Amino acid sequence: MYSTDLRTDTEKKAQAVTASEDAALWEAFQKRIDAGDIIEAKDAMPEKYRATLVRQISQHAHSEIVGMLPEGNWVTRAPSLKRKLILLAKIQDEAGHGLYLYSAAETLGRSRDDMVADLLSGKAKFSTIFTYPTPTWADIGTVGWLVDGAAIVNQIPLCRCSYGPYARAMVRVCKEESFHQRQGYEIVTTMARGAPEQKAMAQESLNRMWWPSLMMFGPSDAASLHSSQNMKWNIKRHSNDVLRQRFIDATVPQAEILGLTIPDPDLVWNKEREAYDFGEINWDEFWAVLKDGGQCGKSRLRARRAAHDNGTWVREAAGAYAKKHKTRVGKAA
Ligand code: BYC
């Protein structure tokens, strides 16, 4: 996860080919993008476009799957049967998101097994937000409210991404994320309006999760490596900073309604910009988390590896069944 190079040998070769790729292909491709065309799996595309999408979509899929872990830890401790059921349904949705996304990435020629191997070996990244611990029940509320809230702001524009299979997967993901955001906000609302201890727990969680949520949008535009090319290709429709600002402007009033305080002394409404000014994000922390996995990165990977190992027999049984079925169908034909 924390290496800077996500490319497989095949992708490296593919990118090397890019230099010698037909300039006419690049030009014709860019014309299609500029005309608002949707690119489909079998269409001609520059190898760099393909590799960029595999990188982003697989990282996104890994984030969904790893994101199940902090929530999974709370299923047995959720405060009521109703809360357990809702949390289980949400976690199941995240697994579904991972599956749509792995499938979308597979249309670009990368196998799911290879992508999962990159996650398990630590080569592929997943969202920094899931390297932070969730030690209290209020964190399950703030994950829904802030993390799913940030995900919606980031992902709604991806429904109009130039690559069809990714864009279509995003439509359903966004609908479900919207339910997730509301369930999180409802947990935080219940706590903020409950006993003083509950409100304090909600505030303490907000204090820890606010800044990491802002980091979900990626580095500042000045430091973003891929934004300008990705925007040219209509993979990204808005820059990291634009989306981050959109999230802050939507979320601050939600905190005010709850009587909670955003942990940023520099947060102030700017009348001229009609947006909130906010304090400096600790980018050293962001880059350090990307590099070494922060507090929980390593334990998240350990949990994923254990789940993968424990599921070996299921994959083997499914493979044996598929083989048997194929032989039977072959004989019948
Ligand atoms: N975490 O040039 P930049 C969810 C990396 S799941 C980790 O701006 P780009 C949920 C970036 O990959 C939410 N890495 O990159 C699930 C690049 O490194 P590489 C997941 C990050 O691609 C379960 C480098 O930093 N959402 O919501 O133009 C339960 C430079 O960045 C992060 C998605 O994946 C980060 N936060 O923009 C609940 C959305 N930020 O690859 C909720 C799809 C940056 O060159 N992805 N990096 O080694 C995107 O929209 C874009 O890929 C990003 C980054 C905005 C994340």
220 lines ligand 1 (CB under 6 A): no
pLDDT of residue 127: 97
pLDDT exceeds cutoff 90 at 60: yes
Ligand 1 atom closest to the Cα of residue 90 is 29
pLDDT exceeds cutoff 80 at 120: yes
What's the pLDDT band for 13 if we cut at 50, 70, 90?
A: low
Q: Is 266 exposed, middle or buried (0-12, 13-18, 19+ CB in 10 A)?
A: exposed
pLDDT of residue 24: 85
In this structure, the residue with its CA closest to atom 34 of ligand 1 is 60
Q: Using H for helix, E for strand and C for coil, what is the string for the chain?
A: CCCCCCCCHHHHHHHHHHHHCCHHHHHHHHHHHHCCCCECCCCCCCHHHHHHHHHHHHHHHHHHHHHHHHHHCCCCCCCCHHHHHHHHHHHHHHHHHHHHHHHHHHCCCCCHHHHHHHHHHCCCCCCHHHHCCCCCHHHHHHHHHHHHHHHHHHHCHHHHCCEHHHHHHHHHHHHHHHHHHHHHHHHHHHHHCCCHHHHHHHHHHHHHHHHHHHHCCCCCCCCCCCHHHHHHCCCCCCCHHHHHHHHHHHHHHHHHHHCCCCCCCCCEEECCCCEEECCCCCHHHHHHHHHHCCCCHHHHHHHHHHHHHHCHHHHHHHHHHHHHHHHHHHHHC
Ligand 1 atom closest to the Cα of residue 128 is 1
pLDDT exceeds cutoff 70 at 7: no
Give the span between the Cα atoms of 263 and 208, in whole angstroms: 9
What's the pLDDT band for 11 if we cut at 50, 70, 90?
A: low
Average pLDDT over residues 46-73: 96
- State in Å: Cα 131 to ligand 1 middle: 13
pLDDT exceeds cutoff 50 at 243: yes
61 lines ligand 1 (CB under 6 A): no
pLDDT of residue 81: 97
124 lines ligand 1 (CB under 6 A): no
Which tens digit of pLDDT belongs to each residue from 258-267? 999 999 999 9
Ligand 1 atom closest to the Cα of residue 127 is 1
Which tens digit of pLDDT belongs to each residue from 250-286? 999 999 999 999 999 999 999 999 999 999 999 999 9
- State in Å: Cα 60 to ligand 1 middle: 7
226 lines ligand 1 (CB under 6 A): yes
293 lines ligand 1 (CB under 6 A): no
pLDDT of residue 137: 98
pLDDT of residue 10: 60
Give the pTM. Answer: 0.92
pLDDT of residue 55: 97
- State in Å: Cα 197 to ligand 1 middle: 35
What's the pLDDT band for 107 if we cut at 50, 70, 90?
A: very high
pLDDT of residue 6: 43
219 lines ligand 1 (CB under 6 A): yes
